[in-house]
A and B are shown apart, each in its own frame.
Chain A
Amino acid sequence: MPRKKVILAASFGIVFAYCAVALLAPVIAPYDPHAITGAPLSPPDKDHLLGTNDLAQDVFSGLIWGTRATLLLGFIGAAIAVAIGTAAGIVSGYYGGLIDEAVMRLLDVAMTIPIFPLLLILTTFFRPGIYLIAVLMGLLGSFQGVRVIRSQVLSLAVADFVVGTRALGAGDGYIMARHILPGVLPLAGVKFVTSAQHFMLIGIGLGFLGITDPSVVDWGQMINRASQNGAMVLGLWWWLIPPGLAVTLISLALAWLGYACEDEINPRLRVMRI
């Protein structure tokens, strides 16, 4: 029990720290990440905590500013995915019948679409800005969650308390918002955390392939440029490793958060009666 609380606290702490860094980037970062500051490819020293890259930009500042891109993609994408997925799941599960059939068939088709390649194609051709990428990821990633939400809604929709509220004269919208939605929020919350982790990694991947917005500093980009400039061979560890570590850490934190929340949420509302 206490171990779980420690993990929960630690992961929350890490996520919170990342958010703080992202918000306070202009304050924390010593330099503008795009600015040329001193000699290129120089190792860390007192002026540049993580050295400089091939364009003599400060790596540390890049790392700080890169937090924004990662978190943005992760959280906005997850928010959109969860919002659409939950809404679809609730409507589909609550109404049943033709609406449910239609949504399920649509989902069958949609889920055959490979998300990452599609995302690749869209971003390569249209070169959207970072916000648009987040929206796209959210849209494409919303399909997965619908089924899970829907099955929870199916059991909620026939529960006596829902029937009873309908008997009181409540409209469908009211019931869905006031009774069904709170019932699926825990599931949706967990989905949000895991989706955020997933999307952050995809975002890094896109950055690595050089497809994201070049005007935004992105850890994936940094890793890409570092390896292209022979960081492995030349031993430019200060450029190559920190972004990778940064991604790993937030990814782990979110994964732990997801597991810990799942455990918390499931047994809580069940009470044993002897």
Chain B
Amino acid sequence: MTNEALLEVRGLKVGFPTPDGLVRASDTVDLEIYPRETLGLIGETGSGKTVLGMAILRLLQPNAAIEGEIRYRDRDLLTLPEDEMRKVRGREIGIVLQNSGTSLNPVYTVGTQIAEAVTLHQGLSGPDARQRAVELLDAVGIPDPVRMAGEYPHRFSGGMRERALIATALACRPTLLIADEPTKGLDAVTKRGIVDLFSEIDRDRSVLFITHDIETVEDLAARVAVMYAGEIVEVGGVREVFWDPAHPYTRGLLASLPERGMRPIPGSAPSLITLPPGCRFSPRCGCAIGGCNREHPGLVEVGPGHYARCMLYD
């Protein structure tokens, strides 16, 4: 495994103008993804994790204010012209979006939709594309792939739809796959199936696994980043972050898991329009010291490859 990062996000800021003010969904995010690793991105609703995933492929709405740099293979994705960007999307970086219910067009068969991805990027068409679609469905674990390729999305269960979406994203063999909440709303057994599938996928490529489900990240990822209120508050190896968390938010998050005691974090996440001064977690933090609500902390190294955004470690 080389030390050269496959994808580097530097200083990413994403803001959405609304009648009530600018929503700072992402505020100066730095992130690296290395080849052939799965990076877990954990956060709750409103933490900015989905926005980050979408920003990498420039899939955000046109009025989003984006600053910063996203380096992929010596190119800054944010400054690429649109036709170049289109070649990156799907072929080099694939994405599986949230809400699998509406991600598939109900009037086309699933096979047709997967074949579409292949046709767009690899020029295959007709029976070749269809053959590839069937192979992909088989590879993602859908039983009876020949028949299912000819079925419409409503015949697919939630788990199967998720697999079909993964197949579409993998159709052109991207080097990086972004998966946004692939296990949301699935029951335990189906979730396990999807997690197993991902453990096969990440053997040949990098995966950015965005989720709020902490246990699946533990199974799949080598490194994990925790987001809160639009920032990365902790990043490091999965073992270190989950068994020796540095940031109080990470600790609170883990403590609120049913298996670890179900102790809630008091209060609620701040509005992304009016953020609290200093550390964004300080109003809810049990360990806050004097300077926490005045100075905004940067990421500090708390262990090898393990960083946390907290004054306690400065």
Contacts and interface: CB of A to CB of B under 8 A. Distances in A.
Q: A–B direct touch, CB within 8 Å, in complex?
A: yes
Nearest to A273: B45
Q: How large is the interface on A (under 10, 10 to 19, 20 to 34, 35 or more residues)?
A: under 10
Interface residues of B, number: 5
B25 interface: yes
The binding surface of chain B is classed by DSSP as mixed
Contacts, number: 6
Contacts of B50: 274
Contacts of B237: none
Nearest to B48: A274
Contacts of B25: 274
A273 B23 CA distance: 13
A274 B24 CA distance: 13
Sorted from nearest, which 6 A-B pairs have the closest CB atoms? A274-B50, A274-B46, A274-B25, A274-B51, A274-B45, A273-B45
Contacts of A274: 25, 45-46, 50-51
A127 to B, nearest CB: 55
Nearest to B50: A274
A273 B98 CA distance: 13
6 contacts: A273-B45, A274-B25, A274-B45, A274-B46, A274-B50, A274-B51
B228 to A, nearest CB: 15
Contacts of B51: 274
Interface in A231-274: 273-274
Interface in A122-151: none
A274 B45 CA distance: 8
A273 B25 CA distance: 13
A82 B301 CA distance: 69
A274 B272 CA distance: 12
A274 B54 CA distance: 12
A164 B25 CA distance: 35
A273 B44 CA distance: 13
A264 B45 CA distance: 29
B26 to A, nearest CB: 12
B112 to A, nearest CB: 30
B180 to A, nearest CB: 12
A257 B216 CA distance: 53
A2 to B, nearest CB: 15
A273 B45 CA distance: 9
A274 B50 CA distance: 8
A273 B46 CA distance: 9
A50 B51 CA distance: 67
A61 B70 CA distance: 75
Nearest to B16: A274
A274 B51 CA distance: 9
Interface in B21-35: 25
Nearest to B23: A274
A89 to B, nearest CB: 27
